[in-house]
Amino acid sequence: MSSSSPAARLSSLSATPFWQLLRPQDVVAEIWLLITLPVCFVDVAALWMPLLTRVFLIPGYLFVRPYSDRYHAALEADEASGYPTSRQRRLWSTFLRAVATFIPWLVYPLGYNEMGKFIAVVHNDPGCNNDWGVQSFEEALFDGQPCLTWRGRSHNAGVLLFDEYLQFCYFMLYLCVAGIPFGFWLMGYFATRYNNTPTAPSSSAAGLDDGSSLSATSPTSLPSESPSASEASSSASSPALDSGNGNSVILATPRGPAMFTPMTPFGNGWVAKQRAKLLRDPWYGFDLCLVALLVASYSCWVIYFIHPVSGPLWCFNRPDAADTGYFFSYVNAKVQDNGAAHGTATPSSHCASTVCLWILCMIFNRHMAITGAFFVPGLVWATFYLQYHYLVDAIAGTIMGIMLPFIAIKVTDALRGFLHGPQWTIGAPPKGSAAALASDDDYVGDEHDIGNAANDIDSGVSGVGNGPASTMIGTGSTSGRHTTGNGSSSSDAQSLLDDHNRSEDDARIGTDPS
């Protein structure tokens, strides 16, 4: 039986501790719930709903994903062995995987709504008492209040049309924080379903256990068999790219929507190294996107909780919706009155979250980045121009949004290394086992070694195929060795894998099928 079979995968998942099956966004969401849990006991009568939410979500984040992965693996193992499975069981598996995938995102709307309640209880509704410092700073810096004076109160049709566009941009925050993570999820989905990403080197040749080069949550994994003649022909006709060191990388012809096709790593720069992480796991972008969204929100919410500011919308004369647009001005006014937390954060969480996610789109997906260009700059401008925030809020939020993607990358890589080991594999054998990596020096969870995996693929890993759209990486040599990003050979890991794979009837060390 191949180690990449459904039964072997189920066995590996069952032997893996539940905490190693978590994803970085699960840990980040769990941390926020635990940190804010004591606040709920300040006034249980007023904060019973946030408390009840944490009673369910804190254990839920710890067990939903491990249970979902193991349940789905058991279903696949039964189907592979010919055991009949019911439609209800398959639907339940799909539902569990959907909940496990998107439940970390639920922290964002919950936290966005709860901050107003926390501040009202802890700070006893400070009103505009804390705004004088921000207002005085703006007076000294800009000789006035830009949120009041830069727009004026013109009823000109052209001004109202521009205001309506800015109102639309501001409203797009609520679609942005849901749409961009979902877009990154679709990137992972189509990458694993249609093989749109450059495929990682053969797992055995790269010093990984067979079947562990992709996330266990991925619908597909790299096959160990050589590609057929038709698959090789399909690969040969695919576009060849220069990896930057003389090696050719032949990509599969994308068959999924171009909107959700990740960009290919070129050269050896920092951006290329980030894109190359999708070689290790197509779901990396989705994990990173959720971590970035949560970290950006937490950063603003903590400052808002410590120093709550009401903002110009509540401390100055509020403009009428008819004076600032046609349709979205009324929508935003309704959201401010009923859905959003009272007051504004300094820095602006609107600017920090959207700019942060937009930069991630620039790194990984040009189509979403271009789409964001139509509303993200307008959102930053609308934040103060339409009197939702002070100008310094927008400036501070934008600066934070520029910095946070790099922090989120570090956090995501560190959590992945802690949870899954340097091979970044969900459901892989536990760390320290014979089937795991022999040395952390060969594959470490930082952007240097991971990025160079795309550009320093040694000979002997050519011919990785995956279905009709076969992907071949390498130079066509048959040396059968893999060199890591720093140029050192993983011979020790290979020797250990030789010993481990001899016990597997179908296991083999990766060679060049051409």
**Partners of residue 242 on adjacent β-strands:** 248
How far is 436 from 431, CA to CA, in rounded Å?
6
Q: At what angle do helices 349-364 and 157-194 cross, to 10 degrees?
A: 50
pLDDT confidence of residue 470: 29
How far is 104 from 294, CA to CA, in rounded Å?
9
* Neighbouring residues of 239: CB distance < 8 A, sequence distance ≥ 6: 250, 251, 253
pLDDT confidence of residue 272: 87
* Neighbouring residues of 131: CB distance < 8 A, sequence distance ≥ 6: 309, 310, 311, 315
pLDDT confidence of residue 16: 85
* Neighbouring residues of 347: CB distance < 8 A, sequence distance ≥ 6: 300, 303, 393, 394, 395, 396, 397, 399, 400
pLDDT confidence of residue 262: 76
pLDDT confidence of residue 392: 92
How far is 193 from 214, CA to CA, in rounded Å?
12
pTM: 0.73
CB atoms within 10 A of CB 239: 10
pLDDT confidence of residue 250: 35
Residue with tokens 């964002």: 108
pLDDT confidence of residue 105: 93
List the chain residues with pLDDT less than 50.
1-3, 196-255, 425-494, 496-497, 500-501, 503-514
Question: Which residue blocks in 16-130 are alpha helix, DSSP H?
Answer: 24-40, 48-80, 87-102, 107-122
pLDDT confidence of residue 241: 37
Residue pair 189/183 in contact (Cβ under 8 Å)? The answer is no
DSSP state, residue 38: H
Residue pair 187/496 in contact (Cβ under 8 Å)? The answer is no
Residue pair 343/290 in contact (Cβ under 8 Å)? The answer is no
* Neighbouring residues of 365: CB distance < 8 A, sequence distance ≥ 6: 183, 184, 187, 259, 260, 261, 262, 263, 285
pLDDT confidence of residue 49: 94
Which amino acid is it at 65?
R
Residue pair 301/117 in contact (Cβ under 8 Å)? The answer is no
CB atoms within 10 A of CB 439: 13
* Neighbouring residues of 514: CB distance < 8 A, sequence distance ≥ 6: 232, 462, 463, 476
341-352: per-residue pLDDT in tens? Answer: 666 778 899 999
Question: Which residue blocks in 81-199 are alpha helix, DSSP H?
Answer: 87-102, 107-122, 131-142, 146-149, 157-194
Q: Is the peptide bond before 24 cis (omega within 30 degrees of 0)?
A: no
**Partners of residue 483 on adjacent β-strands:** 489
287-297: per-residue pLDDT in tens? Answer: 999 999 999 99
pLDDT confidence of residue 191: 82
pLDDT confidence of residue 425: 46
